[in-house]
């Protein structure tokens, strides 16, 4: 009988660390949170639950970034750590280099991520464009941020260009910058000329008129449209001037007739 007591005593505390760790990640104590972030028993699920707390101090997030096993093995933990609004810059920026391509895209699009981290994620994406596959480029062109989509407008592959033009994040200034770029291909310019959305924009038509790769027929069409828009106020002014000029002529005629009647 006495030999059974040590076995029971040893088995009972085994569940205690897991229970205390689950409680610790919801604690309001800084020391408890730091201890939880560095605990070797911390797994991916508990770490993600911890990272859902928007009130986490930077020290806790920094400690979590030093958890070698989690940071090395868990893509989700790395992504959540970078996206957390309280993560210190000296922690999140280096982690960007270890994220997958589409995780970087998520960082650049996430609404709660600080602007400078989004910009750094976009820079990392732009640096990878030469090394990723065509399928990844097409997917990025269709879904990425305006800056990345604008850069992909200069790609040599027509499928990438068309996907970027259909990206809902793409802005008119991004298209205009791409049209003014020295690397803008004839395929890109021709695609914009035929596009049902972008070819109708006034500023884009002006940019197309300045591009040497714009087909002559389309350039003439855009030029006529622009001239008509520009001349319409002038036509109104000329009509007003003509109406003003007609009045004195009529009065002059009446004066001449009156003078001729008097002379008779």
> For the segment 32-71, what is each residue's pLDDT rounded down to a tens digit?
999 999 999 999 999 999 999 999 999 999 999 999 989 9
**Does any domain span residue 54?**
yes
**Does any domain span residue 112?**
no
**Does any domain span residue 46?**
yes
The angle, 0 to 180 degrees and rounded to 10, between the axes of the packed helices 186-194 and 172-180 is 140
**Does any domain span residue 264?**
no
Band of the pLDDT at 94, cuts 50, 70, 90? very high
**Does any domain span residue 176?**
no
Buried b (16+ CB within 10 A) or exposed e, 41-63: ebeeebbbebbeeeebeeebbbb
> For the segment 178-214, what is each residue's pLDDT rounded down to a tens digit?
999 999 999 999 999 999 999 999 999 999 999 999 9
Buried b (16+ CB within 10 A) or exposed e, 210-223: ebeebeeebbeebe
Q: Are 166 and 192 in contact (CB under 8 A)?
A: no
* Nearest-5° Cα angle at 137, 167 to 119: 70
**Does any domain span residue 41?**
yes
Domain count along the chain: 1
**Does any domain span residue 262?**
no
pLDDT at residue 162, rounded to an integer: 97
Q: Are 178 and 188 in contact (CB under 8 A)?
A: yes
**Does any domain span residue 242?**
no
d(CA 71, CA 228): 62
Band of the pLDDT at 12, cuts 50, 70, 90? very low
C-alpha closest to that of 210 among 189, 195, 183: 189
Structure letter (DSSP) for residue 178 = H
Query: pTM of the prediction?
Result: 0.74
Band of the pLDDT at 11, cuts 50, 70, 90? very low
Domain that holds residue 65: 15-100
């Amino acid at each position: 009988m006495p030999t059974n007591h040590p076995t029971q005593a040893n088995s009972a505390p085994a569940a205690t660390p897991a229970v205390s760790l689950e409680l610790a990640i919801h604690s309001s104590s800084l020391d408890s949170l730091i201890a939880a972030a560095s605990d070797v028993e911390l797994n991916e699920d508990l770490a993600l639950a911890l990272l859902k707390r928007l009130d986490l101090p930077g020290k806790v997030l920094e400690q979590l970034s030093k958890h070698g096993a989690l940071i090395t093995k868990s893509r989700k933990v790395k992504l959540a750590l970078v996206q957390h609004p309280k993560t210190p810059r000296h922690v999140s920026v280096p982690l960007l280099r270890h994220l997958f391509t589409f995780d970087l895209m998520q960082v650049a699009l996430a609404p709660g991520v600080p602007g400078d981290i989004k910009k750094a994620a976009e820079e990392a994406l732009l640096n990878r464009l030469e090394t990723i596959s065509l399928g990844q480029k097409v997917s990025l062109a269709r879904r990425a941020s305006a800056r990345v989509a604008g850069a992909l407008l200069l790609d040599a592959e027509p499928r990438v260009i068309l996907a970027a033009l259909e990206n809902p994040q793409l802005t008119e200034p991004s298209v205009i910058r791409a049209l003014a770029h020295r690397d803008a291909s004839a395929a890109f310019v021709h695609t914009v000329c035929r596009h049902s959305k972008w070819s109708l924009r006034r500023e884009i038509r002006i940019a197309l008129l300045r591009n040497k790769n714009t087909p002559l027929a389309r350039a003439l069409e855009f030029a006529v449209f622009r001239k008509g828009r520009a001349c319409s106020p002038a036509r109104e002014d000329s009509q007003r001037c003509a109406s003003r000029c007609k009045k004195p002529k009529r009065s002059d005629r009446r004066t001449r007739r009156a003078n001729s009647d008097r002379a008779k």
